Structure 1
């Protein structure tokens, strides 16, 4: 049995009494050195987490074979950018109890005196800065780390011609705690490099009436569907044509608060239009082609889409980076359709839409949807014809036929 225990900031005064009781009922305790020091009287065996996570996973496997109760101590809250997704992946059949802790996010917003129920959250620790929203329309918490320092985040926005206010928190709850509000220009010039700091990015205030009208117009333009193909930056990456894109989004039935994953996002055309339909939600674009990744970021910036997150990699390998989603759009599966449909964190009743250009992919997808208990399976075959002007006439230009499959996730 595994107990995943959040220890909050890692200070004894911030540990609730219940955590001590949980630890005392464990046979093995695993955590970082600072976490283990919180429990000096623990009578069982201990294992210190290090950079070699595989060795720690081996310790867990061996202890589970001996039917021991294992406590895994994680900083902050287990459900917020922690070890929990990896443990779920490694031990899918094991009973796992999760106990919350005070996350760095909660601490930071408390220090700032700000509500966080409508904020966006991004981690750039070991990830690309392109995950940051190019335009700030909501409070956005950013976890930094590795090569991505707070100064790098500030410079990212300066390079976009923006100078937002940024709250900087480091070593929260410790004697050396830093908490400061400064603008991006000031932060970028700071000489002290802070490791694993948390930032709160503040959107610009909208005081002038003219600016409000301009913003409303921009939002309206971003929520359109069927954007002409030539408006997207394309390179040599395949793109879903506008006639098909409209039908895919119609089948997805996206609402304004939905969380959406676009698998095999290509240039990001579907992701961008989906983001416009879900202004209070988030779209996660999964793409493993570096050229396509760059195009997604470039198109995101061109269309000023702030609620789109690029996840470099291949599905389902990167699913640990996803929250629960309402809609899953699959444009490419790399031959792993079964694993994708089985493992995608789609909520019960959530919608899945698959595009296929071959009979074989269509047939396989129908069989898998049936096998995995998806409901209301619908199949549409479309072939659009564009009539292009040639001198004073119009000639037919047929686009490749496409199958669009849609379904809802049922109870398994």
Structure 2
């Protein structure tokens, strides 16, 4: 059994974070790292798809084993898996600058305010969500989650203008840094490995100094008054309804949401303010314009798609949660698609009680648990030398979760 496992980072400049120990008996790493750094005559193990085999080889090694990993092995790297399988107390980790640090350095940008996500070996929703909502994002890619895939997905999701920087093969003689926009990135030819920076430069200029969290200013209010949003004839979710809907949806960083029938976009804007990536959809071009204007007013990133649901939903990435605020004639078809593709939560706002039964039946048929909550708000208004309560129109929220 290996008494010590040295996990050594290889920086974007191609240098090791520390020298290999003289008593190393096994070196594990990617093929390119082994070719360059493994000492002659020392046993090697290529890190590929079968990490169980790698862990077994390291565990069986005699004396000191070495693992070579790109950048900082503790940041979206192999340290988590090795610590779980072999014990963190056996690891000595030597981090090098990450590829993300190298990419930002290549274009002269600070990155303490960046959001960093990985699409490598993980479900892609969090990467898409971050690129939609945050103004400065680094995405660690994979061959099947390429810069072209990311750009195509963001365009389909209605993402606004972005500068895209792709840094390929940092630390090699053929390193390339390419700068374009989302449309240009769809056809960009890049080599592996690479990292993608997605920058909302207009919003970055407005934000200015770094914030505590990458997606925007700290302490953004939510459940704003309806009049804070540009809207048409009162077609905007009221603050109390919006607050409950956002709580039921679990809006927050790393979550990808749809707002179907978004109207003024108040739910989408406030979900984005809480850190969620949101795709807002509406068939009405004027409402789409209002959603974009409201997102811009409050300085948040929201993907906006113009078109009728459910047809326009087909090309969108699968969401974690969905808010259905427009209960038009196609509600049944919209729900069928949404319930088939959503990961965990769906909230439907209804203005009439008659729709509640059919909606609940559709949840049940799709294998979801659901219930209803009537949101009734009464405003305090002066009356003579006292006050009276003035009721608003109630709204029924049907909230559902996928059965375990």
TM, length-normalised to structure 1: 0.52
CA distance in 1, matches of 2:236, 2:140: 33
| Alignment map for 1:9-408 (pairs within 5 Å) | 9=12, 11=14, 14-15=15-16, 19-20=18-19, 22-41=20-39, 44-63=42-61, 68-92=63-87, 94-126=89-121, 127-128=123-124, 131-132=127-128, 133=130, 135=132, 138-159=135-156, 160=158, 162-190=160-188, 192=189, 194-205=191-202, 223-226=220-223, 242=243, 276=273, 297-298=278-279, 306=301, 386=376
> 1:104 Cα deviation (Å)?
0.9
- Per-residue CA distance 1:83-123 (angstroms, 9 max, x = gap): 11111222335332110112111211121111112122122
With over 3 angstroms needed to count, the CA separation of the structure-2 counterparts of 1:299 and 1:183, relative to structure 1, is: closer
Alpha-carbon RMSD: 5.2
- Tell me which residue corresponds to 1:3: 6
Question: 1:137, CA displacement in angstroms?
Answer: 5.0
Give the direction of change, closer, same or farther, for the CA distance of 1:37–1:157 in structure 2 (3 Å limit). Answer: same
Question: Does the aligned pair in 2 maintain the 1:129–1:153 contact within 8 Å?
Answer: no
Contact 1:27 1:70 in 2 (8 A): yes
Secondary structure, counterpart of 2:37 in structure 1: coil
Contact 2:132/2:278, CA 8 A, preserved across alignment: no
- How far residue 56 of structure 1 moved from its aligned partner, in angstroms, is 0.8
Q: How many residue pairs end up in the alignment?
A: 279
CA shift digits 1:58-103 (9 cap, x unpaired): 112223xx5x322111112212321111112223353321101121
Q: Would the alpha carbon gap of residues 243 and 47 (structure 1) be closer, same or farther in structure 2, given more than 3 Å must change?
A: closer
Over 3 Å counting, the alpha-carbon distance change for 1:118 and 1:231 in structure 2 is same
1:135–1:34 Cα change, 3 Å: closer
Match of 1:253 in 2: none
Measured against aligned partners, the alpha-carbon deviations of 1:162-190 in whole angstroms (never above 9, x if no partner) come to 33221221112222222121222222233
Structure 1 residues 208 and 148, CA gap change in structure 2 (3 angstroms): closer
Larger radius of gyration: 2
SS of 2:201's equivalent?
coil
- Name the CA shift for 1:386/1:306 in 2 (closer, same or farther; >3 Å): same
Q: Distance in 1 between matches of 2:78 and 2:60?
A: 19
After superposition, what is the alpha-carbon deviation per residue over 1:257-300, rounded to whole angstroms, capped at 9, x for unaligned?
xxx8799x999x999968736xxxxx5x8xxxxxxxxxx85479
1:146 deviates by: 2.6
Spell out, residue by residue over 1:320-373, the C-alpha distance to the aligned partner (whole angstroms, 9 max, x if none): xxxxxxxxxxxx9xxxxxxxxxxxxxxxxxxxxxxxxxxxxxxxxxxxxxxxxx
Aligned partners of 2:119 and 2:142 also within 8 Å: yes
Give 1:385 shift.
8.5
TM-score, normalised via structure 2 length: 0.52
Contact 2:82–2:88 (Cα < 8 Å) also in 1: no
Change (3 A) 1:312 1:46: farther
Structure 1 stretches lacking a partner, 5+ long: 213-218, 233-239, 250-259, 278-282, 286-295, 314-331, 333-382, 400-412
- With over 3 angstroms needed to count, the CA separation of the structure-2 counterparts of 1:36 and 1:270, relative to structure 1, is farther
Structure-1 separation of matches of 2:175 and 2:89: 38
